[in-house]
Amino acid sequence: MSNRPAPIHPAPHGWIILDKPRGLGSTQAVGAVKRVLREGGYAKTKVGHGGTLDPLAEGVLPIALGEATKLAGRMLDASKIYDFTILFGEETDTLDTEGEVIERSDVMPTLDEITAVLPDFTGPIEQVPPTYSALKVDGKRAYDLARAGEQVELKKRAVTIHSLTPRHAELVSASIASSNFEKSSEGWTLNQVQGDEELKSITLSAHVSKGTYIRSLARDIAQTLGTCGHVTYLRRTKAGPFTETRAISLDKLNEIANGAQLSDLLLPLEAGLDDIPALILDQTSAQAVRQGRVLSELPQTDGLYCAMLDNVPVALVELIEGTTKIVRGFNLPDVAE
């Protein structure tokens, strides 16, 4: 028999946007949310995440609660924005700081050389995923095979880089240290760097499609520049509609366990559908949709809609020639709690 006290709050529905710290896995983050909900007196709640973020990465991790977990798959397909730093001169087997150095180069690119090759990596491209990745080869994870010392051959995959822009840089030369410029925590701002000066590292911002491996992108950029490199810093600043401005720290999350109001941190389910227009229903139409019946002769144009009764999402529907097709129904109370 469970010793857990009876819940004092109903199961919540919506999104918590966690600013995941470095060193924490996505599954661990989900576990942390489950724990604080349990300790905060909430009824048992289904919890999932909207896109894996490696333990060595930090930043925006959407956590779906309750009925919002039905939208987690859409979040996996959404585009994302990352800031990442390439350290030139060394490539590791994992393409990040966790691995062993497998190649070295004395070639250090300039800012002008870097900006000249970035257009080659913008738009539709093909990339080979990192050997240390969760992709399966003959039913086994690539990283498990690599750790066992086996040769791993991964096929190229098509992805899209919507934009790729420099943000910060670190010079090979130490001469700038004696200048009047001040260095930020992220490196020298680009207007402090001469285009022909060699760089030790560059921090880029990349808006990418699903399936893009930032570590592979860093490797390929470095190789195109005639050197090698690996990722030393990776932060996701946007995932689908969710940005870091709404993300909360683990400390803030833990306040829920101590009685803080979850409503102050929880975004509504429909926040994950901010690019989907609303289809306003009356009570009769909402009941029909909940029963799986179609609505016909609607005047709206074809496409996806979030069917709403007052302020409550009823279903994600696709409208085809005036007729609704239910994509995903939501089991939410008519009156938001």
- What does the DSSP assignment read for 242-265? EEGGG-B-HHHHHGGGGT--GGGT
**Rounded alpha-carbon distances, angstroms, from residue 160 to 83, 97, 121, 124, 215:** 16, 25, 9, 4, 15
Which tokens in the block code for residue 86? Answer: 């390439």
Alpha-carbon distance 234 to 21, whole Å? 11
Contact 178, 47 (CB under 8 A): no
From 19, 54, 83, 96, the catalytic residue: 54
Alpha-carbon distance 47 to 28, whole Å? 12
To the nearest whole number, what is the mean pLDDT of the chain? 87
Q: How many CB atoms lie within 10 A of CB 252?
A: 15
Q: What is the pLDDT of residue 74?
A: 86
The better pLDDT of the pair 288, 4 is held by 288
Closest CA to 168 of 193, 150, 147: 193
Q: What is the pLDDT of residue 77?
A: 86
The better pLDDT of the pair 2, 10 is held by 10
Q: What is the mean pLDDT of residues 244-268?
A: 92
Give the chain's largest Cα–Cα span. 73
Q: What is the mean pLDDT of residues 247-255?
A: 94
Question: Phi and psi of 311, rounded to 5°?
Answer: -110, 15
Query: Residue 95, by phi and psi: left (phi above 0), alpha (psi -120 to 50) or beta?
Result: left
Question: Among 49-63, 292-306, 322-336, where is mean pLDDT lowest?
Answer: 322-336
Annotated catalytic residue 93: no
Which tokens in the block code for residue 258? Answer: 């101590």
Q: What is the mean pLDDT of residues 216-241?
A: 96
* Cα 131–Cα 152–Cα 75 angle in degrees, nearest 5: 45
* Cα 253–Cα 257–Cα 258 angle in degrees, nearest 5: 110
Give yes or no for residue 28 having a pLDDT over 60: yes
pLDDT band (50, 70, 90) for residue 177: very low
40-62 residue pLDDT tens: 999 999 999 988 888 899 999 99
Q: Which position has the token pair 């009769």?
A: 284
Give yes or no for residue 336 having a pLDDT over 60: no
**Please, which residues have CB within 8 angstroms of residue 39's CB and are 6 or more apart in sequence?**
256, 257
Give yes or no for residue 161 having a pLDDT over 70: yes
pTM of the predicted model over 0.85: yes
**Rounded alpha-carbon distances, angstroms, from residue 332 to 154, 286, 290, 315:** 43, 12, 10, 10
The better pLDDT of the pair 109, 196 is held by 109
Q: How many CB atoms lie within 10 A of CB 192?
A: 17
Q: What is the pLDDT of residue 275?
A: 84
The better pLDDT of the pair 334, 163 is held by 163
Question: Among 79-83, 172-176, 244-248, 263-267, where is mean pLDDT lowest?
Answer: 172-176
Q: What percent of the chain is helix, strand and coil (3-state, nearest 5)? A: 25, 35, 40
Which tokens in the block code for residue 52? Answer: 């894996």
Give yes or no for residue 185 having a pLDDT over 50: no
The better pLDDT of the pair 216, 130 is held by 216
Closest CA to 64 of 274, 304, 272, 261: 272
Give yes or no for residue 201 having a pLDDT over 60: yes
